[in-house]
Structure 1
Amino acid sequence: MLINEEQLSVFLEGLPCMAYMMRADGTLLGVNRRLKALFEQTDLKQAVKSQNEVSCFDAFRLFCKREFKKLTDFSTGFSTGGGWQYADTLFLHMSLSPYGLEGEQNAILGLVEDVSESQIECVKNAQYKAVFDSIKEGVLLAGVDSKIKAVNPAFSDITGYSAAEMLGRNPSMLSSGHHDKAFYTKVYKDLYELGQWQGEVWNKRKNGSLYVQWQTITALKNDAGEVDEFLAIFSDITHQKARLEAIEFRANFDHLTGLPNRAYFHELMANQLVKSCKEKSQCALMYLDLDNFKRINDTLGHSVGDSLLKEVSQVISKVIGAKNTLARLGGDEFVVMVPCFKQISELEEVAQAIVDALKVPFVIGANLVHTGASIGIALSRNVESVEEILRLSDLAMYKAKEQGKGRFVFHTGQMSDDVQAARNLELELRKSIANRDIRVAFQPIVDIATKAVLGYEALARWTTSSGQVVSPDVFVACAEELGLIQALFEVVYTKVLEGFLDLQNQHAKDIYVSINLSCYQIPSLLSVDWMTSQLAYYQLAPGNIILEITEGVLLKDSVNTRLWLEKVREAGYRLALDDFGTGFSSLAYLKSIPVDILKIDRRFVADIANDESDLALVSAILAIAEAFSIRVIAEGVERECQRQVLGRLGCGLAQGYYFGRPTEVEQQGLTI
């Protein structure tokens, strides 16, 4: 076919796609506008730099020349030349056809299609799918119609359902029935208003077993800004939660009776006293001691005594009802917390019911066991601490025993004296804070293996003008109630820094000091600024300071608390969680709160060499700490056997009388 340049141009421009014509030697005969426009794109020109200055069009022409050589048999007609890629930017698909010029079939006509967008999208989708399939967390994608669009392999591993079983189904098929309608309403409310929801969800596997997952759901919006899909990502935390719950149970509940133990009761009672004060109501505490228990233990044996304690706890629990709380303090001592009452007669009825129920003999094995209860009752009126209401009810209980056992007695008489003593303590404390009469003692924190001193815990000490030594628990609580806690802390903090400078001079290496904080100080961001300014004055660094907080601080979980914790970490301080395991410990806290150190409470250390429960509890705490890369300090180490057991368990740090008592700075040089 004979064709001139003008005819070729008309021919190529008339084609509905990008097109070109080329000789076998690579000479380009013609290119239509569509193809020219493609090669003149700015992004392609920029891509030349990554191609050693070979232009995109030159590279394209070389490719076409190679493809031309493949068309050796012109009788086959059309031959699809396949795809061509340039600089990860351009993807073309071409169809090549022999075309005769001047009587010879010595040219090719190339029809070109730009498939860049679809090719790039395929690559992205492949990458997304690789990530989707490989992550360990379960992933679920659902539309606003609650129909599942996709799940990943980890989802199937966790739930037992395959992707085929889930696609098009409603996620509610996983529901365990653990959550009510209000729970899911709150989830969707957060998704539409905040764009995300996060929390624990109990679900059911294909085999019917329940599991708990930590889940984050995100609302995905389309181009119009409307919620179009929901993406859920979750982890199975069943084993971690069970492990922590076991630790919490051992820490908070009596292993024999399953009742709240002394520590947990102390927490419950403290909360109730605060609540009663706010509501201007009254609560009451009944202190129970079993009659003749020592004799029963001595004559029938401890196994019978233990069985009796379990039977007694069950009987009392039935008698007092669900609204009241029964706890075991230890031995044969129980307490009943009555959160509210209107008439004294209500307390009398409950107490008398307990007395009457325990008069009935218990059948323990082959033994008929007779016991009873002496009960002391104290009201919360004018009571400011758990210790006080325990003491008052304990005094009343002894009065009941003196009067013949098997009865109850209300506390009377000493209340006014106690109130006056509290007022005197308040005045004395205000005066001592103003005069900076609070002292600071330092107890060494040591490497449990080498016994080398690595730091100190600073402990406030107070002696009144009359020479009375007041426990920190008492005067700190008093300061908190009076709103003096920040003033008290400022006196203690500056004295700690002054003493710490002297301690540093006694050591050849860098050491740190640990300081206890009250939960009432935590929300104040100004307190962090003040602490840092004092460090600058004494030329000390925040890295030398460990701030000890209790689990009660984490329970608040307020915005201010989290802001305070963030500011503390930003300033360079380290955080220690004191008395870990005695409160409402949670893995969620360890995951979300940046804690550096856990302190094991002394009650778990005291009998660790002999008590299997304490040994198991401490082992579990150490395992959790290791999982979170958190250091552990064991408190209350007083004997070599305790040190050895803790060392074998892998506890690195410790403090206690075995290593050194709390002493003031001038005495530290003698003990290091």
Structure 2
Amino acid sequence: MNPRLSALRISLLYLVLATVWMLASDHWLQMAIADPAQTLRWMTAKKYLFVAGSAMLLFVLLHRQFRHQQATISSLSDREKRLSRALNVVEDGIWDWDLRTHRVYYSPGYASLIGLPGDRLSDDFLLWENRLHPEDHDTALAAYQDHIDGLSEQLDCVYRIRHGDGSYRWVHARGRVERDVDGTALRMTGVSRDITRQRSNEDHLRQAAAVFEATQEGLLVTDSRGVIVHTNPSFSRITGYDARDVLGLQPSILKSGRQDAAFYRRMWETLQNEDVWSGEIWNRRKSGEVYPQWQHIRAVRNDQGELTHYVAVFSDLSSLKRSQHELDFLAHHDPLTALPNRLLLRERIEQALARAEREQGGGALLVIDLDHFKHINDSLGHSTGDLLIKAVAERLQGCLDERCSLARLGGDEFAVILESPQQQHASSLAQRLLETMNAPFMVNGQTIYMSVSLGVSLFPEDARNVDHLMQHADAALFQAKASGRSLYAFYTPELTARARSHVQVEAALRHALDNDELRIYFQPVHDLASGRMVGVESLVRWQHPQRGLVPPCDFIPVAEECGLITALDAWMLDQACRQMRSWLDAGIDLDYIAVNVSSRLFSRGGLEQRVALALEQAGLEPHHLELEITESAVMQNFDQALELLCQLRLLGVHLAIDDFGTGYSSLMRLKRMPVHKLKIDQGFVAGLPDESEDAAIACAVIGLGQSMGLQVVAEGVERPDQAAFLLTHACDFGQGYWYGAPQPADVLLPKLPRHRA
């Protein structure tokens, strides 16, 4: 009802009634009263009566209106208080956005939602927009605009908004637009709810569900009565049962029968008392296969502590059990031959020693090493070498009886434990093993001849514990190899002393390298025709602080065996280049300085870079350096050696083949090598001129060198008749004690030739 219209109607009604009253009452009084004076009095009374009646009527109307208004105001006040209390209680944020003015009302709950005090809340729309997460800004505004444009029935969107503490909270906003009769959007009212915790819980639930479905462990959920209500895919993969096969059934369908009733009784007692049980259990797959699994069962209770479910997580231990067996086998056996390895051998030796002590018996440990096996690997490849190792293992195994146990120690080394009190049994077994290796092996269509060397240590005579027994067998093996290979040798105390000396020399030699105890001696090389000194050969010596000057034969073999020879060679190369540079700067007239290169350094790789670096650091021209390489080192891997020799030749250094005639090179290969000199081994020079064989070899080497355009150097010239013979047969150079013993640089200096002024 329109208040203005109602007031107008009442006023008009009152006007009409008042007019009718005045006209009608005046006419009635004139008709009823004849006396004019009396009529005038009544007309005056009528006026006052009309005013009183009007006042009474106005009072009644106003009273009713004020009472109604008061009741309405009171009702609105109550409703406003209730709404205010409701808004204060509700954690959701309520907002009312005036789309015409872009002013927004935010409830106290909204202030709490975004973490702002009430005095910082404004009615500006930007208060909300500026707090939107950058990644959600455009999406949220688009959702609001779509609803304003009528593209969506209501606003329903999720976004992140910055909280007062600086973090972002997830908010779920819902709202609806109010429009006028023309459809124009006037305002939008809605509610926003903080769903950060809910979203986090949902994320956790999704993750848990993903884990449940994707985990490799089987999962089984039952209700409180033990009825299966859920399984995951891994349950089906492990057990073979589909979910529809087991839902509604008891987990007892998986029992294998390997555990008795007492086992399950203890399991349920633990579950009831502790709400959790873990252990290994044997179950049966759908196929009937019995398998081990590790199972973890947990009771699930609600907030009131009432049991609701059981959750079982289990993993198949079949592969683990197999892996454990395989690892145990690999830990005690050689993977190539499947023979016992060093670890299992030690256990069996300990058992044999214990039996020998308990039964007053004895036995022997035989250590077997393949002779020159490295040549097989280098020439035919490691795959062929592995096949040969397997063939050797099979042949050795065929020679043994029940008293013996064969093991592979690694590489090309085997061992046999023989339990027999008779020493001759050990020697006969060793001889049998040597003989059985005489027959050739057929590997990859190739015929390979292989021999072995054996070291034998007896127990309890030689040792009463594993370590000593194996050390003594190794010492005996070393003696067998040193005696010519394809032999066997028994342990003697002298072998141990020699081995200890070897270790001591190795340690002292390492100390010598670190403490500058090595020295270089130089032996002159003379031109046989002119007698002029043309060069020197560098030789290493060891100046021991207690033992004095140690001869090379006492430490060079040790250095070669332990790998120190490479460091010695590198040190010699650097020192020789510096010494030659120093002599040249002092006016010494020498053509070259020679340095021996060991077979280990030659085959190691990177020699050309090492030589170039030594020359560069010393400032020495390459033609003043001569590298002496043994014939055997070149022939170990000829193609690789030829490539290295070419690289060294391009570098500009001179090359000499040392100990020529002691190796097994062919003339076809020799002519391809880019070398400058051949050095006749001193073993062939020692018999000159009387020994016809030495003379023939020396003449042949000299003739070969001349025909190939190579210079020839004879080593070990100690007498004038040797020098004369070599000169007569056109040998170019001589080196030996006849011309001078190896000497330190300061001693040799006065004898060195100098440039003429």
When the two structures are superposed, what TM-score results if normalisation uses the length of structure 1?
Answer: 0.42
When the two structures are superposed, what TM-score results if normalisation uses the length of structure 2?
Answer: 0.37
Higher Cα Rg, which structure: 2
